[in-house]
Amino acid sequence: MTIQIGDRIPNASFARATAEGPKPVNTADIFAGKTVALFAVPGAFTPTCSARHLPGFKDNLEAIKGKGVDVVACISVNDAFVMKAWAESQGIDDESIVMLADGNGDLTRELGLVLDGSGFGLGQRSQRYSMLVKDGTVTQLNIEQGGEFKVSSAEHLLAQL
């Protein structure tokens, strides 16, 4: 079942790249006691994700945080090394947008937001979405329809704040 507004973020683990290598984190580390703007992409370095989705959140970061968001985080079913390389290629540091690697797709499955990209050689990935999470509870949820990029954008989420 797909997560809904009013639901709590399920407990799951993922990784963040650090100077010492991948560091495991869980949902409580990211969401407990914070307001988080989370957006998910089907894959790092893919066209829409690299040209529009991540750059939109980078460009609107201060405006989003100015509306009371503590953390802006990007998640993808990629490994921590890929997420780190993608962030560096986009000029994003650890203090601006938190890059989360859901390498095994654990959180993505728990959220019910798996995208089957096997027809394109991508395997199981995440659907494209954005959400606002307050202290672990989803207060806004914007899931894209197949192949679209509208409601998951930074601009759309910013308008909801």
Among candidates 131, 158, 159, which has minimal Cα distance to 144?
A: 131
Give the pLDDT of residue 67. Answer: 97
Give the pLDDT of residue 19. Answer: 86
pLDDT in tens, the chain (161 residues): 799 999 999 999 999 988 898 999 999 999 999 999 999 999 999 999 999 999 999 999 999 999 999 999 999 999 999 999 999 999 998 789 999 999 999 999 999 999 987 778 776 889 999 999 999 999 999 999 988 999 999 999 999 99
In a domain, 33, yes or no: yes
In a domain, 6, yes or no: no
CA 123 – CA 103 distance, rounded (Å): 12
Domain that holds residue 131: 13-160
Cα atoms in the 13 Å half-sphere on the side-chain side of 95: 1
In a domain, 8, yes or no: no
Selecting among 38, 49, 87, 107, the annotated active-site residue is 49
In a domain, 3, yes or no: no
In a domain, 5, yes or no: no
In this prediction the pTM is: 0.94
In a domain, 146, yes or no: yes
Number of domains in the chain: 1
CA 134 – CA 58 distance, rounded (Å): 21
Judged by phi (left if over 0) then psi (alpha if -120 to 50, else beta), residue 107 lies in alpha
Give the pLDDT of residue 1. Answer: 79
Q: Is 74 a catalytic residue?
A: no
**CATH code for position 126:** 3.40.30.10
